[in-house]
Every structure is written in structure tokens, then in C-alpha cells.
A and B are shown apart, each in its own frame.
Chain A
Amino acid sequence: MIQPVLAALFDLSHPAHYLHWHFFQMSVANVIVILLMIAVFVAAILIPFPRRERSS
């Protein structure tokens, strides 16, 4: 019962999927990680940081 819940969300027991674009070749997993890093970088700049009011 617990096993399916704890199992990986994605089945990793097969060769990785790759993107090919001329000389460029990269696994889909790596492309997703790079896109996530760009998204987090942009979000870190745009999302305002919570400010705590200081009692003077």
C-alpha cells in the first residue's frame, strides 16, 4: 500500500530522453533543471522580500 505512494513520481528505469538541435544535445532532465534555475533567478529578483518593521 505504501510502496506506490513512496515510489518515484517518474519511472527512471529507462534511457533518458534527449533533445537534439543541430550540435546541441542535452537530456530533458537537465533542460528542465536549467529552466527551473532561470525561473527561480527571475522570481528572486521580482518577488519582494518581506520586511520586518523595526521598533525604534
Chain B
Amino acid sequence: MSDGGRSSVSAAERRMWTTWVRERAVSSLPPDKLLPDRQPSYVSSWIYVFGVTTIAALVVVVVSGMILGLAGPAWWHTSSLGRFFNGIHLWGVELFFFAMVVHLWGKFFMGAWRGGRGRTWVTGAIAFLVAIGAAFTGYLSQQNFDSQWIASEGKDGLNSVGIGAFFNVSNFGQMYTFHVILLPLAVSALVVWHVLLVRRHGVVPPYPAKGQER
């Protein structure tokens, strides 16, 4: 297993932050763990495909969202190609949440937080909650009557919990910034962190059979 290049580092280099970061990164995630060739035999089940399905949908959502953002509301509301990409973005989100919920159910019934995997579970749960915010601000960014209706309904709810002054759903610029920059960055960062934790700790093994509990 790699030592992160520790043996060839001089005393002067050891004081550099880059050395510290590299050694920490390689020791906690050596390349064979970061990109393994094989997975345990218990992973050969359809229930394990929903995590990567979620990530694939997220890629489609981000790419189609970039195209929509670059072309603007007039394009996605009026041209047939714009409406097509608007539909791709919507159905990508539908698939994203669909797969993420099935992934969540699967991991819940596996007890996927076992064996020191608590942070893997928590980063996944927080990514789910942040993604709900990203979807909500997406509905507010449609620039149509539907988004106005959702904003007026949502404003009462957010005011009732005391955050309406900081998260103003009737401020399109603020909601659009949340939707196209802040929340996608947060979701992407959480997903990357989540996947790195899965790589580091491995996929949770099944519960032992009755009579074989340790």
C-alpha cells in the first residue's frame, strides 16, 4: 500500500501544507481504494444500482441546467428546443429524486451506517435535504404563473418558521442564484464527499444471518 510519498519527503518539505494534504489524502484514500477493480459479492444486486443512477441523473440535471441558464427564460419558454431542454431538466430531477429515494430505502433497511459509516449516512441525508431546497428554488425559477403561485404559498411557510427575511422566495434574483450556483455546488460537494466516504469505508455488508450474529 502506498505511503503517500512519505519516505522521499525531506524535513523542509514536511513543513509544507501541500505535503500534509497529499499524505493525508493518499493514506486515507489510496488509489486502489479510490478506484477499485472489484466489489464484494454481496453488491451483485439491483438494489445497489440506485446510488449511481442518482449520480447519473444529477449529471444530466447539471448539464441541462447549464444550457438552460446560458440561453435564458425567453428561450426555454418559447422555442421548441428550449422546451425540450426544460423537459430534460425536469425529468432528470424526477429520476434523481426517484432513484435517491429508492437508494435511501435500500440503505435504511441495510443499516448502512454500521461499521463506522455514520458520516456516509449523514452526508447522504444532508445531500437529500439540500437537493429538496435546490428543487424548490428550481420551481421558483421557472418564470411563469406556477412559480408565482409556489412563491406566494411558500412565503407563508418560510415566514412561519422565521427565515422569510433571509430566504425571500418572491425575490427572483436571490432564488435564481440559490438554484443555479449555491445549492448545485452544495449538492455536488456533498455527493462527492459521500462517494469518497463510500470508497474509504466500502459498501456496508449485509446483516449476518440468524444464529451468526457476532
Consensus secondary structure, chain A interface: helix
Whether B45 sits at the interface, judged by CB under 8 Å, is yes
Q: Which residue of B lies closest to A36 (CB)?
A: B98
Whether B102 sits at the interface, judged by CB under 8 Å, is yes
Residues from 64 to 89 in B contacting A, C-beta threshold 8 Å = none
Whether A41 sits at the interface, judged by CB under 8 Å, is yes
User: A45 touching B102 by the CB < 8 A rule?
Assistant: no
Interface size class of B (residues with CB under 8 A): 10 to 19
User: A49 touching B98 by the CB < 8 A rule?
Assistant: no
Per-position contact with A for B78-113: 1 when CB-CB < 8 Å, else 0?
A: 000000000000000010001001100110000000
Nearest chain B CB to A36 CB, angstrom units: 7
Number of A-B contacts (CB under 8 A): 29
Which residues of A lie under 8 Å from residue B94 when comparing CB positions?
A: 33
Query: In the complex the two chains form, what is the Cα distance from A47 to B44 in whole Å?
Result: 11
User: B46 touching A49 by the CB < 8 A rule?
Assistant: yes
Instruction: Please tell me which one of the listed residues B44, B47, B101 contacts residue A44 in the complex, with CB atoms under 8 A apart.
Output: B47
User: B105 touching A41 by the CB < 8 A rule?
Assistant: yes
Q: Which residue of A lies closest to B87 (CB)?
A: A8
Instruction: Please tell me which one of the listed residues B44, B46, B49 contacts residue A45 in the complex, with CB atoms under 8 A apart.
Output: B46
Instruction: Point out residues on A near B: beta carbons under 8 Å.
Output: 33, 36-37, 40-41, 43-45, 47, 49, 51
Given contacts A33-B98, A41-B47, A41-B102, 7 further A-B contacts (CB under 8 A): A33-B94, A37-B102, A40-B98, A43-B46, A44-B49, A44-B50, A45-B46
